[in-house]
A and B are shown apart, each in its own frame.
Chain A
Amino acid sequence: MLGRTAASLYWTSRYNERAENMARLLEVGYRIAMTPRLGQDRSDDWRSTLVSAGCDGAFFSKYDEPTKRAVVQHMLFDRDNPSSVRSCIEAARNNARSVRTAITGEMWESLNTTYLEFMDIRPQHMTDNKLPDFLAWIKQRSMLFRGAMLGTLMRDAGYHFSQFGAFIERTDNTARILDVKYWILLPDNEMIGGDLDRYQWTTILRSVSAHRSYRHAYRDAQVRPFNVAEFLILRKEMPRSISYCYDWISESAAALAIRYQDSPVSCDMAHGTLSLLEETSMNRIFQGGLHEFLTDLIARNNALGAQLASDYHFS
């Protein structure tokens, strides 16, 4: 397999995953905007949506105020935002197109249809009443691609590069969402948790589509910050938790190492992070500082992506 092919498979998956995450973050932002004020400036909510999405830098270099309209425009349609849904879909498709031979017809068709339909949409026509359906559509299209990948792609190296990209992106996304609001998850807060806090905890769960599965996992009428943090970081049955992602990343890293009969650095790094997650506990994480833990994790995750690229000659 060409190094460029591996890179494109990795990035196609990453961008596909990112498009879905952007849509989900906007859904949450949109929901907050529909909820009665909770004693806070509304622009702060949109600001934290931007920070969670990692788009705040690009946004404030172009706009002054994070109004709903501007944020929606920026995160969905702006070409100068490399993480806007449009940019993600375009990048995913361009990558897929350049490795058309390494993906299946089903994968290509799902991505190409998404692209063609997305490009037909005029941003100025995206009114409030159309937005929820549109965001749901973006999520579905992304899941369709992923489903096509899981259902049709040969389980060879390409599959593992693809999985790698998806889970590196998902890890980054979940860690960021937690980090933006880490202080409301600190144990001290639980005692004084008022309506506002409870509301914020639920919002975090919604950002990763986990507000219902949380109830099933914890069988508790209360949303507790300790549990929310644990659910998103350590619980392996939660498919967007960091531990879950690292299970897959480690598996793909090992599968690639076996296939290439080599022990690349990226494989050690992936296993290292997985062990770290498996050997720690929420108490330990809180003791060392949740923010510090997340910052370290995001850095490790980025470094792993870069190491993978170097181990397998992405360029």
Chain B
Amino acid sequence: MTDTEPFNEMLGPDGQPRAPYRALAEWFSGMSPAEMRRKSREAETIFRRLGITFAVYGTAEATERLIPFDIVPRVLAAAEWRRISAGIDQRVRALNAFLHDIYHRQEIIRAGRIPAELVIQNEAFLPEMIGFTPPRKVYAHIIGTDLVRVGEDEFYVLEDNTRTPSGVSYMLENRETMMRMFPELFQQNRVAPIEHYPDLLRETLESVAPANCDTDEPTVCILTPGIYNSAYFEHAFLADSMGVELCEARDLFVDDGKVFMRTTRAPERVHVIYRRIDDAFLDPLTFRPDSMLGVPGLFDAYRAGNVTICNAPGTGIADDKAVYAYLPEIIEFYTGQKPILQNVPTWNCAREDDLAYVLDHLPEIVVKEVHGSGGYGMLIGPTASKRELAEFKRRLKANPSNYIAQPTLSLSACPTHVASGLAPRHVDLRPYVLVGDKVRITPGGLTRVALKKGSLVVNSSQGGGTKDTWVLED
């Protein structure tokens, strides 16, 4: 999987544009390098003025940065998208069934399909959730499924982000910016719209209001850690586009087992909280007594069925990297079907055989921390130095169960605007999925692109950019 040329999403093996990219390729070939640079700068100005920034931790100066935006869109054909979305639909149903099961009868463990310690000893398993059933049995309402493509029909799921996936505001703003800058392109191509995402999100959240909700119009709010959080822009953006309040923990309180917002009028009851803070900071009474961020009593109100927290506490176990390795079995167990989207083959370093293989093949593979994210704490074998390899070998031996490993995938490449003009750069894809009374998937998602030549790391914290993602309609 490593030594061949990466799959080029625009150009076929014959050097001709693939069908979905035909109109786009022609359009960009008619654009001068100077014009492209000008458009690129224009896009940057738009983003900066709108304040679409993210915070970078650990830097005192310039704590608000812009994620670079690439003006060349990434295109998926309707048929390609149908398969992806069917695969995602299957996956998120299985994940929610899995969550319900492990917090109840644990049939999957009884059936011997996954080892008990995978769940019971998992840090992300929340005993406080045992026996509790959230409305509609939905735990993970908002999911971002990270996909990579390695060939014409080969897509792999890299990760299921079931905690608080971010980036959807970039998906929406990227599209707005493209439509503002290149209206002609949207006349030439039938691009599936995505702007209704906030409506879908609100419908989804309202659909999981508690059973004892005293009104037909449940009150939804977003819970943010505040303006210094890296994704604050997104929290505000979503609250604004859904027309709901953006609350900090201090704006909420619990009285008589119910949750209220402190308003200019009287306290107002809240039914559904889309929280963008981690489990540990939800409620200092239940989780971390040292936390200033939480709402005291929130978890009890939740367990009493008086408020719905989205995503549910304890969903993190579903995107745990060790659990990930079992996803094919999990999907089969709960849906009775073969997975539509493939998992990346994964070595679980907690297993002796796997660890031995990983240590022998370190220069060829990717090693990740089980609980890591954001591209930190990982080793990319093919580009690592001898010293880094030696260092990782040491760490693996010291604490094998903290790591998983995967083959280095040759991520597909898309044309991207760089100093010398257009050049292929590696991309991934994060479609956004909503689960409530039904599964809602927005066509496309956020394409992240590794702007450095040859780089496979697309994370924005590590020099990645984003692209508008088009799903063409038939």
CB within 8 Å of B: which residues of A? 1-6, 94, 97-101, 105, 108-109, 112-113, 116, 157, 260, 312-313
Contacts and interface: CB of A to CB of B under 8 A. Distances in A.
A2 B48 CA distance: 28
Contacts of B49: 109, 112-113, 116
B245 A260 contact: no
Nearest to B62: A119
Contacts of A116: 48-49
B263 A2 contact: yes
Nearest to A256: B264
A100 B49 CA distance: 14
A97 B262 contact: no
B264 A312 contact: yes
27 contacts: A1-B265, A2-B251, A2-B264, A3-B251, A5-B245, A5-B264, A6-B264, A97-B51, A97-B227, A97-B236, A98-B226, A98-B227, A100-B233, A100-B240, A101-B236, A101-B245, A101-B246, A109-B49, A109-B50, A112-B49, A112-B50, A112-B51, A116-B49, A157-B264, A260-B264, A312-B264, A313-B263
A212 B264 CA distance: 41
B239 interface: yes
B263 A3 contact: yes
Counting from the closest, the 5 A-B pairs by CB-CB distance are A100-B236, A101-B240, A312-B264, A101-B239, A112-B51
A112 B50 CA distance: 8
B48 A4 contact: no
B232 interface: yes
A312 B262 CA distance: 10
B261 interface: yes
A108 B52 CA distance: 11
A3 B264 contact: yes
B206 to A, nearest CB: 18
Contacts, number: 61
A82 to B, nearest CB: 18
Given A3-B264, A260-B264, 14 more contacts: A2-B247, A2-B251, A2-B261, A2-B263, A97-B51, A98-B226, A100-B233, A105-B50, A109-B49, A112-B49, A112-B50, A116-B48, A116-B49, A313-B262
B104 interface: no
B248 interface: yes
A12 B251 CA distance: 19
Contact of A100 (B48, B246, B261): B246
Interface of B: 48-51, 226-227, 232-233, 236-237, 239-240, 245-248, 250-251, 261-265
Contacts of B48: 116
Contacts of B50: 105, 108-109, 112
A105 B46 CA distance: 12
A69 to B, nearest CB: 26
Contacts of A97: 51, 227, 232, 236
A4 B250 contact: yes
Nearest to B221: A2
Contacts of A5: 245, 264
Contacts of B240: 100-101
B286 to A, nearest CB: 24
A313 B239 contact: no
A112 B233 CA distance: 13
A121 to B, nearest CB: 16
Contacts of A98: 226-227
B53 to A, nearest CB: 10
A113 to B, nearest CB: 6
A313 B251 CA distance: 11
Nearest to A115: B51
A4 B262 contact: yes
Nearest to B224: A98
Nearest to A4: B251
Nearest to B265: A260
A5 B264 CA distance: 9
